[in-house]
Each structure stands twice: as C-alpha cells, then as structure tokens.
Structure 1
Amino acid sequence: MPLFTFKKKNTVYVLMHKDKPVLQGSFDFGRHAFGEDVEIINPDLLPVGVTHEDGTISLHRLNHWYRWRGIPGYRVGLLQLEERLEIKDPLELLEREYALSVSDTFWRKAEDDPITWKEVNFFHRSFDQQGFGLAMFSNVGARAGHNARHTPNNTTCGYHRKAWFRRNGNLFLLKGGTPFYQQEPVNEWLACRIAHQLGIQAVPYNNEIYENNLVSVCPAMTNEDVDLVTAGDVLNSVHSDAKKFQYDDYIRALESHGIKDGKQRLSDMLVMDYLMMNTDRHNQNLGILVDANTGRWLQCAPVFDTGTGLGCLVDDNEIFEQYHSQSCKLFNARNFSHEILLDYIDLKRYDFNALDGLPRAYGNQLVKYQSTTNISNKRINESYRLFCKRILMIRKAAASVQ
C-alpha cells in the first residue's frame, strides 16, 4: 500500500537515517531542496560529502546529493514513463515516498509525522513492481495504476531503463540497454564473468527478456545494514581539487577511513574497464559500502555497471577500431586512451590465461538474444574480434612486466 508525504505549510522536515534524525529545516517541494535554516542534529550520520572543511553543512552539496537521488531528465524512455505515470517531472516521484531508496537508508519526513523506518522502508515493504516495470519497459501504451508511483524506483539514477523487482524475498535490478543495439546487458554479463575468472569482487549479472527488451539482472549490493556511497561523495568529503586527477585523493580518503586495499580494488575495476573498453566509469558507478548503523566505512563496493563498452554505441563498421579510441573516463579525467589504465593496474596479480573461453561465450550470448536485439552477424563478429584483441593486448602488457 502506498504511503503519502503531504506538503504542509511552515512544517519542519527532517532528514532521517533509519529512525535517527540527521538534520532538519524547511523544505521547498518545488525546488526539491532544504532551506538555509537547516540545522544538523546528528553530525556522525550526515551523508558523506555534504559538509564544508570546517564541518558545517554545505547547502549546495546537500541539495545536490538529495536531488541526485531522483530519476534524471536524460533517462531513456522518460517521456513514456512520465505519460504512463501521469507526472510532469521525474523529480515529482522523489517526493512521493519520503525520498526512500534501496541504495541507502536515508529518507525525509515531516517532523510531526509519526511513521517509522520499519513501516516505510522498501527493503521489506511490498510495492507495485509490475506496474512500474511495465510503465518503464513495455512497448504497449497504457496508463499505470496509482500504486506504480509509489516504489523504490522513484530513486533510481542513471541513463538506462531500470526497475527493481523482488524475487524470493530479495531485490533485483532489471536494466535495459541503448535502444539501437541493446548490447549493454550482455556486456554486463560478460564483465561479471571476467571478474569471476580473474578472482575479482563484482556484482553478478545474468540476462533475460522482459517486455520484449533484453535486460541485465543483478541483486542489490545493499540492505538495511549496508549503504552505498559513491566515489563522487567520497571525493567531496575530502574536498578534492577537481583541477587535478583525483585518483590519489580517492585512495587517501579510503585509507584514512581504514580501507587499506583501495589500490588493489581499483586495479581490479580497471582491469575490467580495460578489457571491456568501458567508456562510462564516472564517479557515480564506483564507490564504497558503509555500515548503515554506525557510519563506518567497510570496504570498496564490488565492481558494477561495466556495460558501456566494446563498441556498444557505435556502428558495426566502427567497432573493431575502437581500440584506437580516446574514450576512457575515470574520476575527473575524460577522453583519454584506455592504455593509460595500465599504469594503475597491478598486472602481475592476474592470470589472463583464465580468459581463454570467454570470447566464444560472449559471441554465443550475443547470438542467443539476437532475435530480440536484431543486431547483425557482422556486429557480433566485430564485438567478438574486439574482445579478443583486448585480451591479447593485456597479455602482452602483462608479459612486459614479468
């Protein structure tokens, strides 16, 4: 059953962390923002990265963090979603269900609202998963029911179509690909198998068809006791200088909070990005896991969101030549060669012979879903060739450091 968050004049609103108040102040529902009268109640539970160096609240960072929880204006299929949910702006959904997410345990409520975390959170509460899923993915036009506007999908950031589903009591995210080729879901499948073969901690992905769309399916990496904090927020917490490459600042931030294997875990991620030629490793799809009860930084998050690679966005004739491209992205660096990633990878740690069977498996997976994606045989062959090329290139690089 949906719960409601009514706008009340002159009401004080509280940012909660489970059942603990974190800060309070006025709230502008039109701007989706806290006001200048905001007061910190529990500084130890503040979202990572929302304060100035002196510990005072940065209203700009706080409200940026808050709005970033919502569905962005560049989401694939957004106009369809807005029409079916009968909304004018995706951030309307942010306010429908207390700004609840299943990526962390923060939420917002009126000070005099007696509702509790146990009653409201989506880690256990049921929701209309099919209604939102159809509104997001279905090719058949129809208005969604009222309940479809009251789900944890209201706080899913990112470009691709996606929706949360509960299966056997556990949350799983279904995510589509770019409409032209729908190749990203298979790339996610491949990336997690690279990780398995190389002994890298990564989110597991599988593929299936949902509403005539190829999707990737992965379990949630968070729960009631574990929050995800993005690299962008980590870097804000140490007031990193955006004018210099932020790799060292990120490592120092991790080490200062007891995460000592940051270089190794970034090396793992970058091996995958190198092999996949990932072009979209931005500060929102890497990060850390935090104890949702104490705020203690636990570990680097497993590698996730590695689907935008292996030429998935270019024409068939351009795929193989992508290994020459200057399209890599990491932290605040843009448009550089993936070969530079080798400087940050501990190549001696990995047995690249373990990847021998993956190119064929990748090609077979692309063929398996070809009737849905309608990609050409040439595209499959060129993607296969590019992946083989990447394996050969990293083996050559590894041999040079032995």
Structure 2
Amino acid sequence: MPFLMNKNRIALCFSFNKYGSIDFIEINNKDLLPEMLKDGNIVYLHKWLRSRCIDLSRRNARILLEQLKINNNSIDPVMYNKGTSLIDTFWIKYNESEAFNDNNLYIKAFDTKIFDIALNGALQSLPLGINTELTNIGSFNKAWSKKGNNWWLYKLGSKKHIYAELFTYYLGKSLGMNMAVYKPLSDQNLITSLNFTDESISLEHYFSFKYAFNDTSYNESTVYHNMKSIGLHHSYLDILLLDGIVCNPDRHEFNLGVLKNTNTGNLVSLAPNYDNNLALGAESNLTLYLLREYLDTFGLPEHQIKYINTLSQDLMLSIDTQVKTETGFTDLDTTDIFNYFNQVIIALKSYQSC
C-alpha cells in the first residue's frame, strides 16, 4: 500500500483497485495534508494528483513523456515521479526502505538533458527516475535549472511576454508589493524566476487551499472573503490591484496560493505575486476593465493609497527603460502601453478625488 508522505512523515495511505482507481484512503496526519485532502475524499485525491501533472498540451511535455516511455495521461507522469514536485515536500512512498532524501527534488543534482528536452524539445536519451519536469505545470514551455543551492524556473515566451513579466515585477517592487523574483536572460526568448519554496516552505495553490473554507467557488469576492477570515486579504487585494493596473487577465487558481511550513502544515503567508506574462496586452487588448472592476468591488483600501501616490509616468518610463536595457528589447514599441498607463493614472487619481 503506497503512502503519501510529507518529508519522512506519513500523511495518508491509499490503495488502487484492479482498474487503477484509488479505492481506499486512511488519514494518518491531517495537519500535514493539503487542504483538499483533509476530509479523506477519494475523488479529491485523484484531482490533487492530476493537478500536479505536467501540462500535456505542451509539445515538449509530450516529447519528454515519449522519451521516458510514460503514458500520455494526467496520472501516470505523477505516479512515475512519485508525486514529487519543486513546490512542496510531498512524495509517494512505495517501499519501506525509501526515505525523503532519496526522492527530494530540492537536493537532486541538475540534469541538463532533462532541462533541454523540457525547455527546447531536444531529442536525446534520458536518465530514468524522478525529475523536476514531470510535475512542472503550466502551459508555457519551461524547465527548472539549479544555480548553487537555488532552483530557477526558465520560461519561454515572446518579447511581449517577457516584457510584461519583467515590467510587472519591477512595478510591483517599486510599489512595495510582495513579488516573486524575476531576471532577464541573454537569450531574448527566456526569462527566469527564483523558486520561492524550499524544504521548509511549500506552496499550496488556491485550487487546493480553497477547501479550507466553506465556499470553494472561485471569484474575487469569495476569495477575498476567505482570505479576510485568515488575515491575508490585504495581500490578496494587492495582487488584484496590480492585475488591474497592468491589465493582467490571467489570475487563476494555479497562480494564486499560500505558503505553508512543511514541518507543521501551518500557514505562513500568501504566496508572492507571480506569473504575469499575459499582462500589458501580451495576448489581448489593453483595457481599463479590470481596474474599474477592482475599484467598483473593493475601492481603494487605506493601505493602497501609498501605491497610487507612487504611480507616475516618470516611474513607468524608468521601468520601461530598465526592462528594455536588461533584455535588449530596444526595438519593442511600447507606445500603446504608455498611453494605457496614462489612462490608468488618470482613472486612479479621479477615483481618489471622488
């Protein structure tokens, strides 16, 4: 019978029937489990495991599975990888002799072959066993790389995607918001971000964390109410406000989450703001709709007044110059973005004066 482990502690045990479906769960340590597994719901364990699977719509993901002879479905890659992921310390134990460090991706050596096939689709023979990519979710081609003791996520994108991610990062930092760290690379098709989890701090996506609350529907008002009940509403509103300012239409249950202590399961904080590469019209028209919707729903809480007072065209120009210098995107036309930001500043100042 396999065990779902958190480090070297059993969180739950489960079994499969002859058809490959989970037919039994027994909880051993509820505090260590993700929120959606704490009720021992078999269907939710299936959903949680599948949610950890590499995005099969990515061409390079399918190449990776083919090279490793893994079935192209949403459960086999996760089970092959023993459930391990570079966002937490959960893993599936099959043999009594296994220990966490035998399956700990955080201390695993970096493998360039796995990296190259996941990021670029480079065909080559691959080492067998667990790796960092089979549970690296998301629709853009990406891969983990290790620098010293730190893991960095490398992500492919167009100039517009990379500009949007970097600009939003620097803007959020300038406003004093909690942002995941991003850096440009010499390859103009790539951007990298520092993993903000480690062996002591895990990320639980809102997809799972919402089961800590009675209302599990996903809309901004419900999430706000839930976050307010645990004192994280200010941090959540900061993410929504920045989404409105940079016109990011892509906030969802897998780029919003919380950080937890891996030893206790206790809540630490809201996860930093990350995944903004679809902002600033990277794949859609720039519009004030998201900002106006935010203001209509939440207004401007007192703690956010300082952000609005910091915004200016000079700040936007400074960040634009920094991003273009660091990326080499000197030919990228950002006229529409500046016109949009002028509208943003006018809208926010007008709202303040009402």
Same fold (TM over 0.5): yes
Relative to structure 1, the CA distance from residue 294 to residue 358 in structure 2 (aligned partners, 3 Å threshold; closer, same or farther) is same
**1:292-349 Cα shifts (integer Å, max 9, x gaps):** 11111111111111221111114xxxx4xx215x6xxxxxxxxxx4411123242424
One of 175, 181, 192 as aligned partner of 2:169: 192
> For 2:335 and 2:174, how far apart are their aligned partners in 1?
23
**1:164-213 Cα shifts (integer Å, max 9, x gaps):** 11112111111122xxx442222111111111111111112111144xx5
1:2-401 aligned at under 5 Å gives the runs 12-27=1-16, 35-51=22-38, 56-75=39-58, 77-83=60-66, 87-89=70-72, 91=74, 92-110=76-94, 112-128=95-111, 130-138=112-120, 142-147=122-127, 150-177=130-157, 181-210=158-187, 214-240=189-215, 242=217, 245=219, 247-248=221-222, 250-254=223-227, 256=229, 259-260=230-231, 262-314=232-284, 319=285, 322-323=286-287, 337-342=290-295, 343-344=297-298, 345-346=300-301, 347-355=304-312, 356-362=314-320, 365-366=323-324, 369=327, 377=332, 379-397=333-351, 399-400=352-353
Aligned length, in residue pairs: 348
SS in 1 for 2:92: strand
Relative to structure 1, the CA distance from residue 364 to residue 348 in structure 2 (aligned partners, 3 Å threshold; closer, same or farther) is closer
**1:207-228 Cα shifts (integer Å, max 9, x gaps):** 1144xx5222111111111111
Aligned-residue offset at 1:157: 1.2
Identity %: 22
> For 2:128 and 2:186, how far apart are their aligned partners in 1?
21
> For 1:308 and 1:385, how far apart are their aligned partners in 2?
18
Taking only aligned residues, the RMSD between alpha carbons, in angstroms, comes to: 2.8
Aligned-residue offset at 1:382: 2.4
Q: Which moved more, 1:146-155 or 1:117-126?
A: 146-155
Aligned-residue offset at 1:362: 2.2
Is this contact kept in 1: 2:227–2:236, CA < 8 A? no
> For 1:295 and 1:253, how far apart are their aligned partners in 2?
18
Q: Structure 2: where are the runs of 5+ without partners?
A: none
> For 2:7 and 2:342, how far apart are their aligned partners in 1?
47
> For 1:370 and 1:28, how far apart are their aligned partners in 2?
55
Partner amino acid for 2:315?
Answer: G
Is this contact kept in 2: 1:84–1:135, CA < 8 A? no
Aligned-residue offset at 1:72: 1.9
Aligned-residue offset at 1:83: 5.0
Partner amino acid for 2:197?
Answer: T
Is this contact kept in 1: 2:58–2:141, CA < 8 A? yes
Aligned-residue offset at 1:48: 1.2
Relative to structure 1, the CA distance from residue 370 to residue 23 in structure 2 (aligned partners, 3 Å threshold; closer, same or farther) is same
Partner amino acid for 2:165?
Answer: E
> For 1:280 and 1:122, how far apart are their aligned partners in 2?
28
SS in 1 for 2:260: strand
**Corresponding position of 1:331:** none
Is this contact kept in 2: 1:234–1:253, CA < 8 A? no
Q: Structure 1: where are the runs of 5+ without partners?
A: 1-11, 327-336
**1:218-276 Cα shifts (integer Å, max 9, x gaps):** 1111111111111222222213153x84534x3454455xx42x221122112210111
Q: When the two structures are superposed, what TM-score results if normalisation uses the length of structure 2? A: 0.87
> For 1:115 and 1:197, how far apart are their aligned partners in 2?
46
Is this contact kept in 2: 1:132–1:144, CA < 8 A? no
**1:105-143 Cα shifts (integer Å, max 9, x gaps):** 111121x33111123201112131x212211333xx642
Aligned-residue offset at 1:392: 3.6
